[in-house]
Amino acid sequence: MSEQAKPLVGVVMGSSSDWDVMQHAVAVLKQFGVPYEAQVVSAHRMPDEMFAYAESARERGLRAIIAGAGGAAHLPGMIAAKTIVPVLGVPVPSRYLRGEDSLLSIVQMPKGVPVSTFAIGEAGAANAALTAVAMLASTDEAMAARLLEFRGQQTAAAKAMTLPA
Ligand code: RP5
């Protein structure tokens, strides 16, 4: 599975400068064999394309959209406003406020149009993708098995940890 197969998860970001963080979402999707697509969709620089992306998401078969943005991060909320496909928001660290602005912009959605919001940066991007995997796993037993195996590997690694004497 790859970017070539019919995508089930869309990964969008406000700028190519977000890729350093958002590549961690794509890496997880690849690891689990989730068909995905990834592209730049800027809320304030290409709003018409953003709406078209969101409006077509459901009919194109997307089951989740991972949206990352930094600063006054409108992208996840505005995409959520135009589709009922679940939106997983990733706050990208910003230059001056280190992503606290991104986090608050994404997480503080008014009641009625949710954006599931993750941690700032790499962990948030990876966990958004793991959540998309878990959503797919609810109807895909092979995906569920891969997710359980992944969790088991983490448990084994933690149990094998040692501390300096
Ligand atoms: C946001 O502005 C993007 O999501 C990015 O995090 C931030 C800076 O964008 P660039 O100036 O690097 O293109 O829209």
CB 92 less than 6 A from any atom of ligand 1: yes
Q: What is the pLDDT of residue 49?
A: 98
Q: Do strands 116-117 and 9-13 pair parallel, antiparallel, or not at all (unpaired)?
A: unpaired
CA 9 from centre of chain: 9
Task: Specify the pLDDT at position 4.
Answer: 64
101 lines ligand 1 (CB under 6 A): no
Q: What is the pLDDT, as a whole number, of residue 87?
A: 98
CATH of the domain at 65: 3.40.50.1970
Distance (Å, rounded) from C-alpha 15 to C-alpha 22?
A: 10
Ligand 1 center to 15 CA (angstroms): 5
For residue 4, is it within any domain? no
63: domain range? 9-159
Give the pair of three-digit tokens for residue 80: 């959520």
ipTM of the predicted structure?
0.96
On whether residue 92 sits in a domain, the answer given is: yes
Any domain includes 164: no
pLDDT of residue 2: 57
- Looking at residue 5, its pLDDT comes to 84
DSSP state letter for 72: S
User: What integer pLDDT is reported at residue 118 of this predicted model?
Assistant: 98
Q: State if residue 15 touches ligand 1 by the CB under 6 angstroms criterion.
A: yes
pLDDT, one tens digit for every residue, the chain (165 residues): 456 689 999 999 999 999 999 999 999 999 999 999 999 999 999 999 999 999 999 999 999 999 999 999 999 999 999 999 999 999 999 999 999 999 999 999 999 999 999 999 999 999 999 999 999 999 999 999 999 999 999 999 999 999 999
Asked if residue 3 belongs to a domain, the reply is no
DSSP letters for 99-160: THHHHHHHH-PPTTS--EE--SSHHHHHHHHHHHHHHHHTS-HHHHHHHHHHHHHHHHHHHT
The total number of structural domains that make up the chain: 1
CA of 8 to the centre of ligand 1 (A): 25
How much distance in Å is there from the Cα of 69 to the middle of ligand 1? 7
Is the C-beta atom of 12 inside 6 A of ligand 1?
no
Mutational test site, ligand 1, from 12, 17, 20, max ligand atoms within 8 Å of CB: 17
Closest CA to 25 of 103, 78, 90: 90
> Considering the domain boundaries, does residue 1 fall inside one?
no
Residue 147's pLDDT is 98
Pocket test for ligand 1, best of 18, 78, 97 (most atoms within 8 A of CB): 18
How much distance in Å is there from the Cα of 39 to the middle of ligand 1?
14
Closest atom of ligand 1 to 69 CA is 4
